[in-house]
Amino acid sequence: MSDVEGDDPEEEEYDESFEDSYAEDSEFEYEDEEYLDEDNMEKVEVEYTYPTSETKMGTLTHRMKYEPVDVEDVQRSLEEKVKQLDTILQIGTDECRILLMRYNWNDDKLLEDFTNESLDKFFEGSGLSKNSKPVGGWDLIEQKTDESFECHICFSSPSKDQPLAVFRLGNCDHPFCIRCYVKYIQEANANSRLLIPCPEADCGLIIRLSELQQLSDYGWKERERAREEKRKETEKQSRVPLTEEEIRQKYQRDQIEAELSEFSDLEIGEGETGENEEEKKVKVEPKNKADDTDEDPEAKLFNFQERILVQEREERERRRNQTLLSKYWFNVASKYCSKHCKSFKNCPFPDCDSLIMQQGFDSNVVATLEEFTKRQLIPTVQCSHKHEFCYSCLKGDHSPCPCSIAEKWEKKCKDDTETAHWITANTKDCPECSMPIEKNGGCNHMQCRNCNYEFCWVCLKDWACHNNSYFNCTKYVEDIGEAKTAQEKSRKSLERYLFYFRLFDNQRSSLSKDRELLEQFEGKIQEMQKKSSVSWIETLFYRESVDVLLQARRELMWSYAIMYYIDPKCPKQLVEGVQCTLSHQVEKLSRLFADTEVNAVLQQKAKFLNYSNTVKKSRDLLRETYLDCIANGVVKLTRK
């Protein structure tokens, strides 16, 4: 719950900066704003893919620097860029924003063109007006009563008793009725267009953000007003029967409201009214904390933290789609991220909308991600929702296994596992040429199709010594090992693979079983919290231990995958040693989870902390050892 509450102050801050940035800022305000943002910057810490810049053995880790961000953070940093440009050009933030978008936020190229081209040409080519009027308190919305006016989109005109609300841009004289304007911008938003020109045929002016804001605000206010009226109406309606006149009025109002609903970019439209949203927000709390017994049992199993995340995400999505402006801003930021895809990546976890911003490397040799992964290093990052994934291949975290090996392993598992299982279960190799043979019926007298060798299926010896006793091999075989050496050779690699695959698979299934168990446990802990006065923070150690356990299991799992690829000539004792230790400790912790009753969790706190600490240490050791061994060439990953 505190997660949700923790978000609120940030939201407020965000809104403030949002508004401020569109208001005309005097020099003083601007200073203030920057100061505030500096504070913000301090809060966001740069994270590293590896805790230290070198291992204890002195191997450089060249760690990657990154920052978990969300779209709103990107919006803020873009707005910073706009302001910075404006301090240089002094032509207004609205104009700077359009220029930056035209130049894909490449301000160097922009400044070059700005100084080289003639100003008039530069402005015209960018869809800006030479003598731009800033959009201040001046209203771009007007109630037209002039009957000769005609909207060039829908051809409607105001009549005597019904004025027509029109909107125009500050720098041209092309008014259109608001309804058409909104439709036009909605469509542009839906197609993620950022530079939206005036709807008039020969007008090249681009809609500025503050203009868009007026349109957006107007729509929003009108919608709220219509809702309020409707609410009052329904209140009244429940008490008194309506007169004919009232019904007529109500019908008209409904129609107006239906039209106004178009102002929002929300697809859900009417169902999602303002009051409902408010209620929903408030409801979030009791739902998680207390006394609704009629809750879906499945939802109960569902991880508590994840549920909060999903709710938060839905809330964010709603906010992003709320108005024309917010949707537009969302498009600006997400387009920026996709254009700069080298430094921004989306979290690949389902239902997660956070981003990772790459910020270079802590190294003087490695400068790109390719160079980083070439050194068999793994860029494991953690998004703001604690999802761990590989920044390079965008799969779930696979450290200590390098990307290339992890990919090979997964492919092999996919291709070979089923086949290998079937082959070991259903075939024998020909004692002469080692071709796998399936016996699908008939007698024990086999003849290999490959080498024509005749042998007995039961004892795998030459058929010649069987004296035509077709179905029974009565001869006791003394030295079967000798006969099978060729077969063994060919099966050896398969067995090796299966050996590591079983270890891998075993960890994988343990991982999912542990997760299941812990989710159930989580539910029980919540119940306990309701009954007793245990606070959320007091059970935090439990959740952290869970994370440690799951993470360790995952790492152990991938370390088995590496083992398969290690050259047989390399000394494996070191890595096997740490693997063994970690595996032992993981089992210990896992057992503690299984053995501890819910009520006893708090008493066992010290044990949990202790165990998970050891696991954490061994895990770090495992990671370091692998890194050292691979980097120094102690183990070579050369096997196919």
Partner 1 sequence: MANRDLRTERIQQERKQWRKDHPFGFYARPTKASDGSLDLHNWKAGIPGKPQTKWENATYPVTIAFPEEYPAKPPKIRFPPGFYHPNVYPSGTICLSILNEDQDWRPAISLKQLMLGIQELLDTPNPGSPAQEPAWRAFEKDKVEYEKKVRQQAKQYADKH
Residue 323 φ then ψ, to 5°: -125, 170
- Contact flag: residue 187 with partner 1 (CB under 8 A): yes
> Whose structure tokens read 């999802």?
387
- Do the beta carbons of residue 82 and residue 103 sit within 8 Å? no
State the SS3 of 427-453: EEECCCCCCEEECCCCCCEEECCCCCC
Lookup: tokens for 433:
């040429």
**CB of 196: closest distance to partner 1 in angstroms?**
10
- Contact flag: residue 192 with partner 1 (CB under 8 A): no
Residue from 34, 80, 259, 544 binding partner 1 (CB under 8 A): 259
Distance CA 577, CA 348 (A): 33
**CB of 168: closest distance to partner 1 in angstroms?**
12
Torsion of Cα atoms, 148 then 149 then 152 then 158, to 10°: -100
Residue from 122, 149, 184, 521 binding partner 1 (CB under 8 A): 184
Residue from 203, 433, 458, 477 binding partner 1 (CB under 8 A): 203
In the bound state with partner 1, the residue whose beta carbon lies nearer, of 186 and 359, is 186
- Do the beta carbons of residue 264 and residue 272 sit within 8 Å? no
First and final C-alpha spacing in the chain: 50
Residue from 1, 46, 88, 154 binding partner 1 (CB under 8 A): 154
In the bound state with partner 1, the residue whose beta carbon lies nearer, of 80 and 200, is 200
In the bound state with partner 1, the residue whose beta carbon lies nearer, of 191 and 364, is 191
- Contact flag: residue 155 with partner 1 (CB under 8 A): yes
For 313-347, give the DSSP string.
HHHHHHHHHSSHHHHHHHHHHHHHHHHTTTTEEE-
Which residues are paired to 176 by β-bridges?
167
Q: How many amino acids of this chain bind partner 1 (CB under 8 A)?
A: 25
Distance CA 117, CA 121 (A): 7
- Contact flag: residue 179 with partner 1 (CB under 8 A): yes
- Contact flag: residue 102 with partner 1 (CB under 8 A): no
443 is catalytic: yes
- Contact flag: residue 263 with partner 1 (CB under 8 A): no
In the bound state with partner 1, the residue whose beta carbon lies nearer, of 260 and 403, is 260
* Binding window for partner 1 (CB under 8 A); candidates: 184-192, 323-331, 368-376, 453-461: 184-192
Lookup: tokens for 346:
């989306």
In the bound state with partner 1, the residue whose beta carbon lies nearer, of 179 and 408, is 179
Residue from 82, 128, 188, 332 binding partner 1 (CB under 8 A): 188
Q: SS3 of 592, please?
A: helix
* Binding window for partner 1 (CB under 8 A); candidates: 11-19, 193-201, 507-515, 625-633: 193-201
In the bound state with partner 1, the residue whose beta carbon lies nearer, of 188 and 637, is 188
What is the rounded radius of gyration, in angstroms, for the C-alpha atoms of the chain? Answer: 34
**CB of 185: closest distance to partner 1 in angstroms?**
9
* Binding window for partner 1 (CB under 8 A); candidates: 56-64, 76-84, 253-261, 571-579: 253-261
* Binding window for partner 1 (CB under 8 A); candidates: 45-53, 190-198, 324-332, 460-468: 190-198
Which one from 443, 473, 580, 629 is the annotated catalytic residue?
Answer: 443
**CB of 172: closest distance to partner 1 in angstroms?**
12
- Contact flag: residue 222 with partner 1 (CB under 8 A): no
- Contact flag: residue 262 with partner 1 (CB under 8 A): yes
Chain centroid to Cα 358, Å, comes to 15
In the bound state with partner 1, the residue whose beta carbon lies nearer, of 149 and 536, is 149
CA atoms within 13 A on the CB side of 66: 34
- Do the beta carbons of residue 336 and residue 355 sit within 8 Å? no
* Binding window for partner 1 (CB under 8 A); candidates: 105-113, 188-196, 304-312, 513-521: 188-196
- Contact flag: residue 191 with partner 1 (CB under 8 A): yes
Lookup: tokens for 356:
């990772």
Distance CA 8, CA 183 (A): 32
Question: Residue 65, Cβ neighbours under 10 Å: how many?
Answer: 15
- Contact flag: residue 193 with partner 1 (CB under 8 A): yes
**CB of 433: closest distance to partner 1 in angstroms?**
58
- Do the beta carbons of residue 91 and residue 168 sit within 8 Å? no
The dihedral through the CA atoms of 500, 379, 356, 47 has a sign that is positive
CA atoms within 13 A on the CB side of 427: 17
**CB of 190: closest distance to partner 1 in angstroms?**
8
- Contact flag: residue 199 with partner 1 (CB under 8 A): yes
**CB of 184: closest distance to partner 1 in angstroms?**
5
Question: Residue 53, Cβ neighbours under 10 Å: how many?
Answer: 12
Give 440-443's long-range contacts (Cβ < 8 A, gap of 24+): 443/470, 443/471
In the bound state with partner 1, the residue whose beta carbon lies nearer, of 64 and 151, is 151
Residue from 54, 200, 306, 544 binding partner 1 (CB under 8 A): 200
Residue from 81, 144, 168, 183 binding partner 1 (CB under 8 A): 183
* Binding window for partner 1 (CB under 8 A); candidates: 194-202, 284-292, 395-403, 472-480: 194-202
In the bound state with partner 1, the residue whose beta carbon lies nearer, of 187 and 527, is 187
Q: SS3 of 558, please?
A: helix
**CB of 105: closest distance to partner 1 in angstroms?**
19
**CB of 245: closest distance to partner 1 in angstroms?**
22
Longest dimension (CA), the chain: 115
* Binding window for partner 1 (CB under 8 A); candidates: 118-126, 183-191, 311-319, 430-438: 183-191
CA atoms within 13 A on the CB side of 75: 19
In the bound state with partner 1, the residue whose beta carbon lies nearer, of 201 and 606, is 201
Which residues are paired to 396 by β-bridges?
389
Lookup: tokens for 595:
């053995």
- Contact flag: residue 149 with partner 1 (CB under 8 A): no
Residue 371 φ then ψ, to 5°: -65, -35
In the bound state with partner 1, the residue whose beta carbon lies nearer, of 21 and 261, is 261
In the bound state with partner 1, the residue whose beta carbon lies nearer, of 190 and 580, is 190
**CB of 31: closest distance to partner 1 in angstroms?**
40
**CB of 251: closest distance to partner 1 in angstroms?**
11
Which residues have C-beta within 8 Å of that of residue 115, sequence separation ≥ 6? none
**CB of 179: closest distance to partner 1 in angstroms?**
8
- Contact flag: residue 461 with partner 1 (CB under 8 A): no
Distance CA 588, CA 613 (A): 12
- Contact flag: residue 186 with partner 1 (CB under 8 A): yes
Calculate the alpha carbon distances from 397 to 162, 301, 379, 393, 425 in Å. 63, 25, 9, 9, 33
Active site residues: 443
Binding site for partner 1 (CB under 8 A): 152-155, 174, 176, 179-180, 183-184, 186-188, 191, 193, 197-201, 203, 258-259, 261-262
